[in-house]
Structures are given as structure tokens and as C-alpha cells.
Amino acid sequence: MLLKLTQILIFWLSSFFLSYLLYPRYIKLLKKRKAGQSIREDARSWWEASIYKELHQHKAGTPTMWWGMFLFITVIMVASSFGLQYLGYINNSLFNRSETYVLLFALFSMWGLGLVDDILNIKWIGKIKWLTSKIKFIWMFLFSGFISWWFYSKLGIDYLNLRPFAWEVELWLFLPILSFIFTVWLVNAVNVTDGLDGLVWWLLLLVLGVLAVVTFNSQRYLATTIIAITLGSIIAFLRYNINPAKIFMGDAGALWLWWLTATLVYLLNIKVGIVVPFLLMFLLFWIEIGSSMFQMIWKKVFKKKLFLIAPFHHLLEKRGMQEHTIVMKFRLIQWILCMIALVMFFYQIQS
């Protein structure tokens, strides 16, 4: 186990230092290419565009596309794992059917959707600055359907582990349906929360940290290594994303992170049961997307807004709370939620 931990730490440190060294050059390259985010009043989104522009106009022109650097780092890490395996330093590369196929597939496929979306945002192509919600939902539905099919058909998972409240609950064909709905809900929760400098990163950093502990304790070392590479790149990125941000994540980054998180939950559901602790860990994300959903439903039914602006973090911002204060308070709450989730997990394995 100590050897496995050492290997994971090496990949984590390599990802961090390589990202940290390359980010200044990457940001300069993006600025040279004018790959900056546009803030426009006619943007179609579920928060009110004029208020959003008022709050975030100063961020216009900030480079986006974090995913480009992360993709480059991940390719290097995966390629180096093949070399290390060939030389006999490690037993397995980072390409493994039971643990990492679906994770790596997500990275290279969801990258396509985020790439197109970011280019439209930067170049201001068409009447809107992003892909339409309809196109995004179709794409998300396809990939959410794929991940549900993979676990049900390829890995034979047809049950839900609800520890510590219940053991394995057989759902048969209902499980892929449930996982499909959950995955779509999760991607939108992450996207909605990504509205302030560093906010979604700090929250996901803590969530992924908990999932890294759980995967390692469950002896899923390759999955832990993928998390470690992601964490290394995120920590380096935070140096340049903390307010005032010098670079933004972009949709491809958000899409990759929700896919990684959802897939890890499904993997851990197989053996240890992480669903209940995870639902607790993701409480802030549920509040964020819940506020947006209620806003949309209220406007559809009653033809007026329920909140001045949604999601919740923008409402706090509009009411006068400073951006860095919101991020700090959310981060503190997330720390508490993650610690409770870890306690629940270790209670499960002891009982």
C-alpha cells in the first residue's frame, strides 16, 4: 500500500509542478489568441443577463479554456504511465478497463462539447454566446446514457448501496434510469455553481479529496491516480483563478469534472457505498441548482421572478456580499460537509 501511495503522490506532484510552470505561458498564449470570455446582455441563460453583466462586466476578456492545459497534462501523465510500466517501475498503466476506461473516455469526449461552446463564447458567433441549451442537453443526455449503460451492461451493476442506512438495494433496470437522471442533474449543478472566481474549484477540490481517500481505501489505486492528477492541475490552476481571476475554467473543464465525480460515485457504489455521504457533500450544489430551477419554474408558471437573480451565489452578490466573502463562506461550509461525509464513510466500513 505504501508503494501505491508513493506512486500516486509522484503523479500528483508531477501534475502540479508541470501545470504550475506552464500556466503563465499558456495564459499569455490565450491572451495573444484573444481567447477571452465575453460578457453580453443578450446571453440566454437562467440568470438575468443584465444583472449578470452589471456584476461581472470587469471580467470580460479574461482567458478561458483551462481544459486545454489539463488535457495536455493528462495526456503526458497517461503516456508516461505506459513508459513506467514498460520499464517495470509500476505494474499497471493508467489505462484500465474496470477503473479508468470510462474516466479517460469522458475526458476526451466531453472536451469536444466544451471546445465548441468556448469558441462560440470567445468569438461571439450567432445571436447567443454559447451553444443552445437544447444542443447541450442532447449531448449531455447521450453521454449520461452511455455512462448508465456502461455500468449496467458492461460491469453488471444493478443495485444501489445505501450504507449506512441500508445495504444493497436491487433496482435492476431502474438503476441505469436513476443514474442517467442523477448524472444530468449533477452536470447542471456543477455548471450553475461555476459563477464566481474559484468557487466551484474549491468545492470540487474538497469533494475530490474525499473521493480520493475513499478510492484509495477501497484499493482502486488507478482511479485514485486519475483523481490525483486532476487535483494537481486544479491546485496549480487556483493560483491563477483566485479573485481576480487570470484564467477561467471553460465548459470543457466543468463537463469533465462532473463526469469524473459521477463516475467515481458509481464505481464506489459497487463496493463501499458512497451515495448517501456524497449527497451530503454536494448539498451546496443542490442549493445552487435548486434556486435556478425554482426561478425558471416560477417564471414559467407565474410570469415573474421568485428571486431577484439566480443561482444563489449571484443573489448573495447582488445583495452586497463581496465575491471573495461568498467563496470563503461556501468553502468553510464545504469543509464541514466533507468532514461529516468522511466520518460517515469510516463508520460504514467499521460497522
Give me the pLDDT at residue 259, please.
74
| pLDDT (average), residues 103-113 | 71
- What is the DSSP secondary structure assignment for residue 321, as one 8-state letter? -
Residues 178-211: tens digit of each pLDDT: 888 888 888 788 878 877 777 887 888 899 999 9
Q: How far apart are CA 147 and CA 8, in angstroms?
A: 25
How confident is residue 72, by pLDDT bands cut at 50, 70 and 90?
confident
pLDDT of residue 58: 46
What pTM was computed for the model?
0.81
Q: Lowest mean pLDDT: which of 37-46, 249-258, 275-284?
A: 37-46
Write the DSSP symbol of residue 128. Answer: S
Lowest pLDDT segment from 8-12, 22-26, 46-50, 128-132: 46-50
- 259-278: average pLDDT: 79
Mean of all residue pLDDT scores within the chain: 79
In this prediction, residue 155 carries a pLDDT of 74
Top pLDDT among 61 and 180 is at: 180
Residues 6+ away with beta carbon under 8 Å from 96: 222
Distance CA(62)–CA(245), nearest Å, equals 7
pLDDT-wise least confident of 59-73, 151-165, 170-184, 195-209: 59-73
Residue predicted with more confidence, 50 or 225: 225
User: Which are the contacts of 217, defined by CB distance < 8 A and separation ≥ 6?
Assistant: 272, 349
